[in-house]
C-alpha cells in the first residue's frame, strides 16, 4: 500500500469517526432524558442532574449506543437475515448483555476514580449484583437497544447523512470540545 493510499484510508476512517461522535452525543442526551423522565415522572423523586458530568447527557448511554452500533447493529443491517419478529430476541439479548456489562465495568471505573457510582439504588431491586447491575434495568436496556437500533438509528443515519462533510466536522469538534471542557470542570472544579 502506498503512502497516499494509507493517508486516504486514514482520512476515510476519521470521517467515519465524526459520525459516531454525533451518534454518541445523541444517545448520551437521550439517555439523560430517559433518566430524568424515570426520576421525575415514573418514580416521582423530583429532578436532579442524572449525569456524571454537568451537561444534559449521560456518557454511559453514548458508549452503550456505540457498543450496540459496533456489535449488534451489523446483525440488523445484514440483508441476508430475515427481518422477522424472531430476530428481535437475539438483538434484545445482545443489547441487554452488552449494556449490563458496560454498566458493571463503568460502576467499577467510577468507584475507582471518584469513589462511587450514580446508580447505587439498584440495591432496592429484587435481583441485583452489588447494587451495580440489576435485572429490571438490564431488561429495559435490552428493550431500549431494540428501539434505538430499529427505530432511532436509521433516523439518525438519515439526519446525519443530510449534513455536509464540513458541518459534520464542525459539529463533531464542538461536541468533543464541550465534552472535554465538561470533563475537566467535573473532575477539577466540582
Write the pLDDT tens digit of every residue in 13-47: 767 788 999 999 999 999 899 888 888 888 777 76
Q: How confident is the model at residue 96 (pLDDT cuts 50, 70, 90)?
A: very high
Q: Which is more confident, 33 or 79?
A: 33
CA atoms within 13 A on the CB side of 63: 11
Please tell me whether the overall predicted TM-score, pTM, comes out greater than 0.75 for this model.
Answer: yes
Give the three cell numbers for residue 87: 430476530
User: Parallel, antiparallel, or unpaired: how do β-strands 133-134 and 128-129 relate?
Assistant: antiparallel
128 alpha-carbon distance from chain centroid:
22
CA 129 to chain centre: 22
Is 88 in contact with 146 (CB distance < 8 Å)?
yes
CA distance 68 to 62: 10
d(CA 31, CA 26): 9
At residue 22, the pLDDT reads 94
H or E element that contains 66: helix 59-71
pLDDT computed for residue 120 by the predictor: 67
Amino acid at each position: 500500500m502506498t503512502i497516499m493510499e494509507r493517508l486516504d484510508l486514514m482520512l476515510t476512517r476519521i470521517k467515519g469517526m465524526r459520525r459516531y461522535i454525533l451518534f454518541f452525543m445523541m444517545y448520551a442526551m437521550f439517555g439523560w432524558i430517559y433518566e430524568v423522565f424515570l426520576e421525575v415522572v415514573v418514580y416521582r423523586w423530583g429532578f436532579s442532574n442524572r449525569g456524571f458530568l454537568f451537561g444534559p447527557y449521560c456518557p454511559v448511554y453514548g458508549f452503550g449506543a456505540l457498543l450496540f452500533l459496533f456489535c449488534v447493529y451489523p446483525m440488523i443491517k445484514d440483508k441476508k437475515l430475515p427481518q422477522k419478529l424472531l430476530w428481535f430476541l437475539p438483538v434484545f439479548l445482545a443489547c441487554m448483555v452488552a449494556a449490563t456489562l458496560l454498566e458493571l465495568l463503568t460502576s467499577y471505573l467510577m468507584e475507582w476514580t471518584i469513589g462511587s457510582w450514580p446508580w447505587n439504588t439498584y440495591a432496592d431491586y429484587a435481583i441485583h449484583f452489588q447494587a451495580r447491575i440489576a435485572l429490571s434495568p438490564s431488561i429495559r436496556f435490552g428493550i431500549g437497544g431494540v428501539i434505538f437500533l430499529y427505530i432511532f438509528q436509521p433516523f439518525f443515519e438519515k439526519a446525519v447523512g443530510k449534513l455536509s462533510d464540513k458541518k459534520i466536522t464542525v459539529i463533531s469538534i464542538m461536541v468533543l470540545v464541550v465534552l472535554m471542557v465538561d470533563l475537566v470542570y467535573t473532575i477539577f472544579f466540582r
